[in-house]
Amino acid sequence: METPHFKMFKILRSEAMFTPETTFKIPNLTARWNLEHSETDRWRIGSPLPGVGASLVGALSGPLSLEGERANALKRAVSVQRGGLGGRPAPRLTAVQEGNILCPSAIDQKEPRRPGMGHVLDADTHIAEPPEMWDFLDPDWHKRRPVVVQVPEDTLYGGVDHMWLIDGQIYPRPAGRGGNFLVTPTVQKNVRDRPDRKARELLDLPMRFEGMQATNVDSQVVYPTLFLAYLTHDAAYEVELCKAYNRFLADVWAKAEDRIRYVVIPPLRNIDAAVSELRFGKEHGACGVFFRGIEGDKTLDDPYFFPVYEEAQSLGLPICIHQGQGAPALNYLIDVSRSHTFTHGRIPPVVAFRNLVSNKVPELFPDLRWGFIETGASWVPFAMYQLRGTLRADEDFWGPRLFDKYNMWISYEVEEDLSYLMQYVGEDHLVVGTDYGHHTPGTTDRLFADPSAQVHCVTQMRTRDDISSATAEKILTDNPAALYGV
């Protein structure tokens, strides 16, 4: 049975060209979608799946060719009108064009599986750490457990009116030096009205599975949110926080029938404890090891980390380098009000790549896999250009051969120039993730959400005309399976 948004899509495709004021009759629209009236007399289409549909704003003036517009047309909204609804004035329906698919929700519903479609493994999703996580903290540390504190809404932090208090510091802190932006705790004003809060916290697994269905993925790899920040200078306390996180995620994995995997967080200032956590994770559903691009005062080529790399290699776990603020000295140089997370969050993974390659660390661990997650890939040509000025190698090394030899995978974001990047990375070493958990319901506009959130990426990849369907499926299925070893 065709759903209304596919009917709308078929109608618009049959027109080839249309204007925002074109009138369409869409039978039984209200039987599938919940129409909500706003104060501005704009109607929005909400998804029936909890927390994944909301309004899409804006209207495109002038005609638009469905066939001619591709990646540059992502997230441009068009308003279409339909006939009267139960005797009331005709509402305005807002739809968003995603490549060649038009759907009234920022993320599509589950599309039928066609021949050639494999198991889609979402390479990057997140948990919004809940208070229940700290039930897994050793009782001896109970008095130092992270707790949620509240501040008035009229402070410099605005809608972040609830924070974690950890060792005298607050997280998130969306203003000032050393700050950050986090969707945990979910009781903060910016997040608490989202109906999928419990799915983000991994407390409601059926709702999380509904989100997976809506994003057209079969399983997810979960990364942290709170632990993207640098939480404590106390090495012993870091061990206990990491252990609590890892045991909470292990409990989720045990209940999720392998549909939810996670990256284990090693307490890296205690190498013995870090190795122990890797072994625990391997036995309890982990499929990777979490690193930020700089850890403390060390870049990732530092021999200090080699015992962790050796253990990860022996366990078959990849080192997963995620954007995050792991270097306190760098963090406190940056005012997030001016720099956002670019300098202390986005740049460190580029440093990690450069230093690992320049110092040939992957050659010391030839069976170890490396992933660069929620980093985008547009920096790869720049990093290679810089490396070619300091490291002598065969000319053909500076391309897909590097990623083959060093077992490296890069996360791609769907607004990047894929054809160009494939010349450097190759089609075998790119992965994509939705960033589910950090998404803003109802929009894929990077200006109104986490810049890496792309809950529409599966549909977008499968409807591109600049790559083959086989290549799209490889990026969605085979490549993440190879990286994570699942």
Whole-number CA gyration radius for the chain: 23
State the number of CA atoms in the 13 A half-sphere of 467 facing the CB.
25
Lowest mean pLDDT segment, chosen from 87-96, 170-179, 287-296? 87-96
Number of neighbours of residue 338 by Cβ within 10 angstroms: 10
Reported confidence tier of residue 94, pLDDT bands at 50, 70, 90:
very low
79 vs 337, more confident: 337
Distance of alpha carbon 195 from alpha carbon 52, whole angstroms: 9
Closest CA to 48 of 192, 293, 225, 214: 214
- The answer to whether 210 and 50 are in contact (CB under 8 A) is yes
Distance of alpha carbon 169 from alpha carbon 161, whole angstroms: 15
Segments of 307-450 assigned E as strands = 319-322, 370-373, 408-411, 430-431
Token couple for 216: 């057209």
> For residue 360, is pLDDT > 60?
yes
**Is the C-alpha dihedral spanning 470, 471, 475, 476 positive or negative?**
negative
Distance of alpha carbon 126 from alpha carbon 453, whole angstroms: 11
DSSP per-residue codes, 135-186: GGS-GGGGGG--EEEE--TTSTTTT--EEEEETTEEE-B-SSBT-B----ST
Closest CA to 241 of 223, 270, 265: 265
Distance of alpha carbon 408 from alpha carbon 444, whole angstroms: 28
Question: What mean pLDDT comes out for the span 87-94?
Answer: 32
State the number of CA atoms in the 13 A half-sphere of 259 facing the CB.
16
Reported confidence tier of residue 229, pLDDT bands at 50, 70, 90:
very high
Segments of 47-140 assigned E as strands = 64-65, 76-82, 92-98, 101-103, 121-126
DSSP single-letter state for residue 320: E
Closest CA to 318 of 362, 351, 359, 354: 362
List of domains in the chain:
4-103 (no CATH), 121-484 (3.20.20.140)
228 vs 112, more confident: 228
Q: 18-49, pLDDT tens digit by residue?
A: 233 333 333 333 222 333 323 332 323 333 33
Q: Residue 26: helix, strand or coil by DSSP?
A: coil
Distance of alpha carbon 198 from alpha carbon 361, whole angstroms: 40
Percentages helix, strand, coil for the chain (3-state, rounded to 5) are 35, 20, 45
Token couple for 151: 């501040």
Distance of alpha carbon 317 from alpha carbon 433, whole angstroms: 19
Q: 408-442, pLDDT tens digit by residue?
A: 999 999 999 999 999 999 999 999 999 999 887 77
Give Dmax over CA atoms of the chain in angstroms.
74
Q: Parallel, antiparallel, or unpaired: how do β-strands 43-46 and 34-37 relate? A: antiparallel
Most confident of 91-95, 175-179, 343-347, 358-362: 358-362
Percent of the chain at pLDDT exceeding 90: 61
Lowest mean pLDDT segment, chosen from 127-131, 153-157, 163-167? 153-157
For the whole model, what pTM was predicted? Answer: 0.78
Give the pLDDT score at 452: 77
Residue-wise burial string across 69-90, b where 16 or more C-beta atoms lie within 10 A, e elsewhere: eebebbbbbbbbebeeeeeeee
> For residue 108, is pLDDT > 50?
no
Mean of the per-residue pLDDT values of the chain: 79
Give the pLDDT score at 346: 83
Distance of alpha carbon 474 from alpha carbon 239, whole angstroms: 37
Distance of alpha carbon 481 from alpha carbon 240, whole angstroms: 30
Bridge partners (DSSP) listed for residue 121: 219
In angstroms, the Cα distances linking 383 to 121, 158, 323, 349, 425 are: 27, 37, 16, 11, 12
Give the pLDDT score at 36: 33
Give the pLDDT score at 179: 82
Give the pLDDT score at 31: 26
Give the pLDDT score at 447: 60
Q: 185-224, pLDDT tens digit by residue?
A: 999 998 888 899 999 999 999 999 999 999 999 999 999 9
Reported confidence tier of residue 111, pLDDT bands at 50, 70, 90:
low
